[in-house]
Chain A
């Protein structure tokens, strides 16, 4: 199936731990994103990569570090997790030529920090 897939679907961890979320897309898109959806359902962009190059970093704490080994993958590593990091994290992708193209989202990773 063609899709944006992210793992894990659920992540429960304690404060201070380090965790990673993986994302892969097989749509052939050049641009990938990480969005955070808070408890009020507000979606806010965190990062965007275009062909492995970081193009958007929206004032995200340094504890969050995206890594794109190739244009089909964009992983998110979070150090020293805090309670406020609890949210749903969405990976998404879009084609580089597609100003008119929608973002294709993964199904989200629900992170709970206790």
Chain B
């Protein structure tokens, strides 16, 4: 079974509008972290936002916010006021077993290609 599922291969949004990119995850751990990365066409991986499983508040970083619904095991990324430069591939990722302290790998979803239209 996939650990991270991103069901939207591609999304379109008009400039200045908000967009939600979906991410659901599967883990039996109680302590885990969820990350979102952006990969523009130039190829680099840019960290956007982090949400811990025990965080009570949804994470926010500038125009990025994370809609974390623990019971549904979803961690959707919300981008407000989209800009042309937001056009990129977006990856959701999870780190499990934070309390075990020995395995820091991130498991990635397959990504969503976001296109912002002028």
Contacts and interface: CB of A to CB of B under 8 A. Distances in A.
B105 A108 contact: no
A104 B91 CA distance: 14
B111 A48 contact: no
Contacts of A87: none
A107 B105 contact: no
Contacts of A56: 103, 105
Contact of B33 (A44, A55, A100): A100
Interface string A73-111: 000000000000000101010101011101111011010
Contacts of A110: 43
Interface residues of A, number: 26
A103 to B, nearest CB: 6
A43 interface: yes
Interface string B92-118: 000100110111111110110000000
8 contacts: A31-B104, A42-B110, A48-B105, A98-B104, A100-B98, A102-B35, A105-B45, A108-B43
Interface residues of B, number: 26
A48 B108 contact: no
Contacts of A108: 43-45
B107 A45 contact: yes
Interface of B: 31, 33, 35, 37, 39, 43-45, 47, 50, 52, 89, 91, 95, 98-99, 101-108, 110-111
B105 A99 contact: no
Contacts of B52: 100
A110 to B, nearest CB: 8
Contacts of B47: 102-104
Contacts of A105: 44-45
A38 B66 CA distance: 27
B43 A42 contact: no
B50 A100 contact: yes
Contacts of A94: 104
Nearest to A103: B106
A43 B98 CA distance: 21
B105 A45 contact: yes
A105 B48 CA distance: 13
